[in-house]
Chain A
Amino acid sequence: MTELPEPMDDIDVAVLDALRRALAVADPVPAQLVGEVEFTLSLAAMNAELAMLADTGAGVRAPTVESADSVTFTSSTMTLMVVIGRDAGELRIDAWVSGGGITVELIQGAERVAAVSDVNGRVSWAPVQPGLARFLISPLTSGGRPVITPAIEL
């Protein structure tokens, strides 16, 4: 290298600013990346257990099939049955969890909507946007692990 280090000046700063603007067009940061990182970190922080799709034998439909209207998840501590329906043209979700007074969150991207199960263990959300969704169930006992379900297509 023959050039001696020179201090940066206003032209250098302007060149770097212009490059940053060009990069924002040529290779933008994916819009959902920050939200996905935060979600991954929140799961790691909670030490959440990933629920499994229950095998209910004949008639079970994969959660990725758009027409799936009823899905059951199980974990070591609980069961969540989800029924996807329509209410005046809008999606609605009714779910039953194993117990009353349990907080269940419907998570769609960065959107999280919490609901508490009634005495029959029922929770519902309406209207619901179509797209990928997962459910987060708060621990049933203090010191227990929260449960997160895999994503399903609504």
Chain B
Amino acid sequence: MTAREVEESLTTRAAAAFIEYRDGDLQGLHRLVAVVTPVLWHVARSCGLSQQNAEDTVQTTWLKLVEHAPGITTPEAVLGWLCTTTKREAWRVQRLARTVDLVDEPDLEPTVETPHDPAKVASMNDEARRLWGHFVTLSPRCQQILRVVCMGGAPDYAGLAEAMGVPSGSIGPTRGRCLAALRRALLDDPHWSLT
């Protein structure tokens, strides 16, 4: 996905595809799946799910959409609905998994770490690896939020943040605490520059 593509708001593209689907065009559903599935992947992974559980959770979310589509009356709300549904399903799966973990390690405090492949991080270019180094020092909660909001363009920022549980008290996209923290860390890093 290029920056140019996400500039056309995900919310708008998802809404347009959903309207087509609701009006009986199955191609609309295919477009909706293609546009939103990558975001849902990162929602599920940001909740700490394994690869397999994240894939299953995304599948479940789409089946639920088909079941509940008639009840979604505002097409612009479909992106948020899909993210929220994925998050709830991911938490349900996480709770089941933790019950098992806690039996083995009763003192383990549940945390949500950003799942990633260390070998792939090692293969990043300098800019990405430096950014990643700052990103993983943020609180798990901030990592969770930023991981999802970065999948959309600026117009989607507030909506995606809200779907991840950030209250939207203001009009228009504002920076927010987590993005401010990452931005500050990067601007203070003499080796990082905007490309």
Q: What residues of chain A have their CB less than 8 Å away from a CB belonging to chain B? A: 1, 3, 5-8, 11-30, 33-34, 36-38, 40-41, 44-45
Contacts and interface: CB of A to CB of B under 8 A. Distances in A.
B87 interface: no
A29 B177 contact: no
Contacts of B33: 34, 37-38, 41
Contacts, number: 123
Interface of B: 1, 3, 6, 26, 29-30, 33-34, 37-38, 41-42, 45, 51, 55, 58-59, 62-63, 66, 114-117, 120-121, 123-124, 127-129, 131-132, 135, 146-147, 149-151, 153-154, 157, 169-170, 172-177, 179-180, 182-183, 186-187, 194-195
The prevalent SS among residues of A at the interface is: helix
Contacts of B63: 40-41, 44
B154 A33 contact: no
Given A18-B131, A20-B151, A3 B180 contact: yes
Contacts of A40: 59, 62-63
A8 B174 contact: yes
A102 to B, nearest CB: 23
